[in-house]
């Protein structure tokens, strides 16, 4: 954006254009990230299927998301970034499993998850991880904290499986390293963000996450963290226009993704087939997420529905309605947080104000 936009662009001028929702960006090696993620997620699922313990698959799948980090970085840098992220992701997964022991009330789960989101958003900004933001950490913590029937042994399982999964990710990344691609750029990593930006984004994640999660819990929705995810995702944008555009993509893409989910899951599937479908959809999501976010949501929405369906007893119709409702709740909280922090992130200067 122009210097004027960076300094103090009025909110009305930051609203995204309609063309933003249909433009598809260049591939830039997205297929390689997609394949690394799919392979990293598939291997533990197959191992757990062979062991007859598919109920443990969330710990492994959530840890495998480390594979998306360090995209478009040289192999050594990518491995370093993934190792750092892996430590944080294992920590939040184990922390979520430990919280599940207490069978937390929905409001307590929301509060704990919001603080995890704020802390990891700040950490990601400080360490300059790419992709930025707290998405995978929030999701990892909240899903593990929500798992039913968790006991002390499951905390040890969470530690073992998440550790094994991130080790698998690092091995897959290392094996892919010799396969050179133009997307493995050595372009310098952007400099650190100013402290006020890091703080503003962390506080925005905390406030939006709390508001969305507590609203969803008050509505009696079983997965308030779905609303929290929708609340924090737009906050990672570098400009107000990018943030609002991402919120719009989230809304449009979710509505579009509910349709194939409603049709696809009319077919009865075993838990293994559902998990294999989750892996495939993870790969498809990653192939589109940097090219067109709304398009990625067409795959991401059925993926989250499939993960929820691996826990028996939840009607598909309820999941579809909840997904749409929580997305709307989360995005309303996100837009409020984005507008509230606009002037902090883009303060007016003497030139801009005249």
pLDDT tens string, the chain, 354 residues long: the values are 443 444 445 555 556 666 666 677 776 777 889 999 999 999 999 999 999 999 999 999 999 999 999 987 888 889 999 999 999 999 999 999 999 999 999 999 999 999 999 999 999 999 999 999 999 999 999 999 999 877 899 999 999 999 999 999 999 999 988 777 666 666 666 778 888 889 999 999 999 999 999 999 999 988 999 999 999 999 987 788 888 889 999 999 999 999 999 999 999 999 999 999 999 999 999 999 988 899 999 999 999 999 999 877 789 999 999 999 999 999 999 999 998 988 887 776 433 333
Phi (first) and psi of residue 91, to 5 degrees: -60, -45
Q: How far apart are CA 233 and CA 20, in angstroms?
A: 17
Element (H, E) at 6: helix 3-8
Reply yes or no: is the peptide bond before residue 43 cis, omega within 30 of 0.
Answer: no
Q: How far apart are CA 259 and CA 265, in angstroms?
A: 10
DSSP 307-335: HHHTSTT--HHHHHHHHHHHHHHHHHHHH
Q: Are 12 and 351 in contact (CB under 8 A)?
A: no
Residue 311, both tokens? 């826990």
pTM score, two decimals?
A: 0.91
Phi (first) and psi of residue 189, to 5 degrees: -70, 135
Sign of the torsion formed by the C-alpha atoms of 89, 90, 93 and 94: negative
Q: How far apart are CA 45 and CA 262, in angstroms?
A: 24
Angle, in degrees to the nearest 10, between helices 75-100 and 57-64 = 150
């Amino acid at each position: 954006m122009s210097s004027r936009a960076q300094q103090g662009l009025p909110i009305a001028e930051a609203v995204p254009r309609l063309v933003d929702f249909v433009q598809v960006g260049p591939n830039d090696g997205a297929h390689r990230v997609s394949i690394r993620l799919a392979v990293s997620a598939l291997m533990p699922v197959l191992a757990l299927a062979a062991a007859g313990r598919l109920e443990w698959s969330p710990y492994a799948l959530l840890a495998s998301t480390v594979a998306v980090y360090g995209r478009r970085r040289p192999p050594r840098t990518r491995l370093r970034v993934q190792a750092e992220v892996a430590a944080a992701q294992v920590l939040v997964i184990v922390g979520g499993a430990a919280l599940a022991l207490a069978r937390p009330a929905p409001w307590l789960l929301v509060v704990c998850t919001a603080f995890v989101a704020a802390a990891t958003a700040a950490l990601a900004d400080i360490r300059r991880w790419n992709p930025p933001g707290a998405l995978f950490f929030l999701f990892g913590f909240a899903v593990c904290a929500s798992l039913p029937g968790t006991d002390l042994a499951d905390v040890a399982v969470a530690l073992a499986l998440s550790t094994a999964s991130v080790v698998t990710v690092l091995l897959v990344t290392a094996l892919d390293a010799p396969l050179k691609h133009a997307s493995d750029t050595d372009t310098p990593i952007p400099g650190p963000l100013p402290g006020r930006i890091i703080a503003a984004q962390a506080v925005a994640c905390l406030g939006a996450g709390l508001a969305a999660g507590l609203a969803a819990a008050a509505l009696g929705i079983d997965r308030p963290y779905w609303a929290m995810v929708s609340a924090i995702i737009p906050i990672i944008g570098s400009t107000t226009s990018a943030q609002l555009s991402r919120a719009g993509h989230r809304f449009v893409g979710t509505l579009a993704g509910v349709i194939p989910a409603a049709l696809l899951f009319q077919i009865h599937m075993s838990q293994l087939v559902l998990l294999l479908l989750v892996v495939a959809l993870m790969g498809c999501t990653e192939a589109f997420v940097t090219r067109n976010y709304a398009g990625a949501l067409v795959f991401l929405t059925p993926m989250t529905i499939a993960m929820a369906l691996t826990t028996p007893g939840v009607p598909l119709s309820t999941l579809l309605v909840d997904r749409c409702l929580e997305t709307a709740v989360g995005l309303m909280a996100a837009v409020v947080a984005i507008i509230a922090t606009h002037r902090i992130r883009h303060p007016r200067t003497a030139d801009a104000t005249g």
